[in-house]
Structure 1
Amino acid sequence: MRWWDIERVLELEKDLFPEDAWSRGMFWSDLAHARGPEATRRYVVAVDRRDAGGSDGDTDGERIVGYAGLAAAGDLADVQTIAVARDHWGTGLGGRLLTELLRAATAFECAEVMLECRIDNVRAQKLYERFGFEAIGFRRGYYQPGNVDALVMRLTDPTKSVAGTQGTETHG
């Protein structure tokens, strides 16, 4: 993900997470830590090039259909966000984005990867479980509004989860 992707990412963010969408500043702040030798973040976007007509107003003819971000600190990584456009649910894109984040965690030499997931988002939980994440606890009232609990999940040794995976259609 680059700074010029932020506006299109925000459109998808507001569609998928209308009540607790990240702000422009939050994305800018994390991207500021995603480049250079001291980088501690990895953000990627997935684009649909079949929308090459630019019918949605994109000047480059690519529609952002997913994005994901990871933060690393020491030997611990945290999945900050994963989002997939509704019309791409069930296509495997979430798994490709997660694979890219786990590759980044491996590159950052992280021994564990953590994440929070809405307790009512069973589809996402099943994805994380397929990659070896295990539930380790809850954060009560984590998602607002509505006081929805978060399931805390952990993956130990992300290198095992990405071993043998193929290249992705994402770019960062």
Structure 2
Amino acid sequence: MSWALRRATADDLDAIMAIETEMFPTDAWSPELMAAELAGPHGYYLVAQAADGTVDGYAGLLAPRGSGQADIQTIAVVPRARRRGLGRTLMLALLNEARRREATEVFLEVRADNPGAQALYAALGFAEIAVRPNYYQPDGVDAVVMRLAVTEPHGVLT
């Protein structure tokens, strides 16, 4: 299975929200918030489109140029596309964009009950720096805060 990564647009909102509500049933973003993220001047959102045109994943970065910092806002991959490198591919694309925007560090929060995602982020060089108790509501799940010091590109996607 292969995907084409492309910049997300407002036309992708319905597909993104379908994945968002499936993957995050208790704490999905609202369509209004997601639309604002897609349209925001400091964001960089991608979708992973399969050959048949379906969107199998998305990811977003907030990285104001010149701030030196970036935040992975969200990432989701549908179950049928998992364990095939798509999450890693989306993350590498966001990290490359963070570098282009001259970020020197990238942050993210990940659910404490998601060891698979934590392992992916650690493999990409992220380190745990804090825990935010009860961050994910209404579930009351802690957020593990992770940070990556941005270095020269490795695994660059162009």
After superposition, the C-alpha distances for 1:7-54 in whole angstroms (9 at most, x for unaligned) are 011011110001111111111111222xxxxx31100000111xx3xx
Quote the offset at 1:164 in angstroms. Answer: 4.0
Deviating beyond 3 angstroms after TM superposition, the runs of 4 or more aligned structure 1 residues are none
- Identify unmatched segments of 5+ residues in structure 2: 1-7
* Aligned equivalent of 1:148: 141
* Aligned equivalent of 1:91: 84
Letter of the structure 1 residue corresponding to residue 86 of structure 2 = L
Q: What are the equivalent positions in structure 2 for 1:125-136 lying under 5 Å apart? A: 125-136=118-129
Q: What are the equivalent positions in structure 2 for 1:118-129 lying under 5 Å apart? A: 118-129=111-122
What is the TM-score normalised by the length of structure 1?
0.83
* Aligned equivalent of 1:137: 130
What SS is found at the alignment partner of 1:91?
A: coil
Q: How many residues align?
A: 149
Quote the offset at 1:163 in angstroms. Answer: 2.3
| CA–CA separation in structure 2 for the residues paired with 1:114 and 1:5 | 25
Q: What are the equivalent positions in structure 2 for 1:1-172 lying under 5 Å apart? A: 1-33=8-40, 39-49=41-51, 52=52, 62-73=53-64, 74-157=67-150, 159-160=151-152, 162-167=153-158
Quote the offset at 1:166 in angstroms. Answer: 3.9
| CA–CA separation in structure 2 for the residues paired with 1:165 and 1:75 | 20
After superposition, the C-alpha distances for 1:81-116 in whole angstroms (9 at most, x for unaligned) are 000001111000000000110011011110000000
Percent identity (aligned)? 42
What is the TM-score normalised by the length of structure 2?
0.90
| CA–CA separation in structure 2 for the residues paired with 1:165 and 1:16 | 27
| CA–CA separation in structure 1 for the residues paired with 2:80 and 2:105 | 31
| CA–CA separation in structure 1 for the residues paired with 2:114 and 2:27 | 15
* Aligned equivalent of 2:4: none
- Identify unmatched segments of 5+ residues in structure 1: 34-38, 53-61, 168-172
